[in-house]
Each structure stands twice: as C-alpha cells, then as structure tokens.
A = this chain, B = another copy of it.
C-alpha cells in the first residue's frame, strides 16, 4: 500500500495567543488543549506508519529546538531548516523537491486543533486517492459559523473515480476572507467550506504547477535544494539561493491557478485556535461554560476562561471573560476583545 508523507509546516509565531504564545515559545509548541502540544498532536494524528510515511517538517532555525524536543510521535521525521521565512509556496516546494515525484504529500499546519483525528485520517485517505489521480486537493473544513477570518472554498461537481464517487469535488472557486454578510450567505448556501491550509498532492504535480504559474519560485528553491547540505535528520537548503525566493502562499501561487484543484470535505472538529476565545471553545467546558487550566476559583461565572501558570485566579460575577496569566504578564479580556490582543503593547513588542 502506498503511504502518504505528512509535510508539517512550523512557521511564524503570531501574537493572537499572547501572553502564552510568545516569540520564545510559539503556539505550536504549547499544550493548549490536553496534554500534548498542537505540534505533537499534528504528528500523532499521522503516526500510523501503515498509512503515513515518516513526516517532513519544514521550520525555521528559531523553532528548531522546540521541534526536535517534541518528536516523540515521529522519531523518524526529517527536518528541513528554512534559512528564511518565505511563506508556504516555497516551504512546500522544499519538501516536494526532497521527495519522489509520485509520492503523495499531505501538507499540514502545525498549530491547528482537530477534535476528531479519525475523521482527519479518513479525509487524508480520500484526498490521497484523488492526489494519485493527479488532483491538487484542499481539505474543505465543514463551516460551523460565519467566520470572517478564514478563506472559503466553494465546491463544484463531484469527482468520479473508476465510475464510483471519490468523495471529492472539483473546486468551483477559492474565496478570500469575506465580510460577515457574505460569510453568512456562504454558510446558508451549504456549498462553501473553510480553507484550513491542509493540502494533498503528488510532489511532482505540485512542482509542475508551481513551475507553470510561479517559475521563479521553483527555480530559486530548486537551486537552494541542489546546493543544500544534509546533516543527520536535518536538511539545510542553501541560504543565498533561498534568500532570493519570492514569498507567496500556496493558495495564490498554485491552488487558485491550477485547473486540477479538488476539495475533500472534512468534518473533524477543527479549530485554528486563532485566539483565546477559539481556545476556550476547543476545551472541555463545565455546565456553565467555564474552562480552567491551573489554580482558579469561580463564583457566579459563565463562559469564563482561566489559564494560569502559577498564581491562583479568583473570578466573581463575570460572563464571557478570559483571564490568562503567564509569568509577568496578565491578560483580562472580553470574548470580543480577543481580536485586539495583538494591539497590546506587550504583544507587539515582545
């Protein structure tokens, strides 16, 4: 049986989960839901070696120590160390160029939460079948709310394989982050799904499409890999060559351009944990909708989230409030206020 190679992208740091997520310890490497970090859970979901090959992790030098500390679910992983951050098109090209052309890659962000891992594995297998038929497949995350922070994918005709339903659909179109009104229309229409940044394709198909639509990126990354240096499980692309690569996302560079894009529906309790409120929603809640991590006491509270790394937090008479304690920083915000966490001086100047 052919396996699927997970390609795990560990980039960026972000400020939306400040003060817990900081430059020194970014979001993928924190145990935000349950005992394992989001990165570890990403590896764990794809740890069945009957289905998945050893993963390829693409990350920067800053995150390398965290990555290498958290490989217990994938001790066989290889790590491509990006000399610079050049967005997802180049990062995925690095991995594709290190794999056989007919190997199916499953590109996964490392900082998302998936509540139903079996649904993920099922969708991955469906996507891999389509990828082996030459499709470039995006996961279409079942939309459960009119989110304005995500891109959407509208599905077109069902794709048949060998006169049977494949489980996938041609992509009618990719849609940028909509305003609330359009997001509500999308949700009502029922043919739109969230673009969660999870993709499957054969390495060769991706590179062929990248070459067709963004030949300069393919050329620069090819040179960076050709001049790169392997060091144990690590691979170091050539820094000078990679530095000249244009930054672009896989969405812009390839998925929205190719005529072979497909979408596989995935209903897997997904969350990008994009802010503290999303994390609250992903955690198990008590009868009053409260979630607590660390020492806390709540009186007359509803929908309150407390996360503390030490001091005891006592909350009285509040609804829809989030309290996060991390060392010398304390955040207290309304549910709506989580959108402005990045504007805080502490978050912006970490």
Contacts and interface: CB of A to CB of B under 8 A. Distances in A.
A315 interface: yes
B311 A337 contact: no
A349 to B, nearest CB: 11
Contacts of A313: 330, 332
Contacts of A311: 325, 327-330
A344 B308 contact: no
Q: How many copies does the complex hold?
A: 2
A164 interface: no
Nearest to A344: B314
A135 B111 CA distance: 76
A347 B345 CA distance: 32
Interface string A270-299: 000000000000000000000000000101
Given A297-B346, A300-B340, A332 B315 contact: yes
Contact of A329 (B314, B321, B329, B338): B314
Interface footprint category on A:
35 or more
Interface of A: 19, 297, 299-300, 308, 310-318, 321, 323, 325, 327-334, 336-338, 340-341, 343-347
Closest 3 A-B residue pairs measured CB to CB?
Answer: A317-B337, A316-B337, A317-B334
23 contacts: A19-B314, A297-B345, A297-B346, A299-B337, A299-B340, A299-B344, A310-B328, A311-B325, A311-B327, A311-B328, A312-B330, A312-B346, A313-B330, A314-B332, A314-B344, A314-B345, A315-B332, A315-B333, A316-B332, A316-B340, A317-B333, A318-B334, A323-B332
Given A297-B345, A325-B330, A332-B332, 16 more contacts: A297-B344, A300-B337, A311-B325, A311-B330, A314-B330, A315-B331, A316-B333, A316-B334, A316-B344, A317-B333, A317-B334, A318-B321, A318-B332, A318-B333, A318-B334, A321-B321
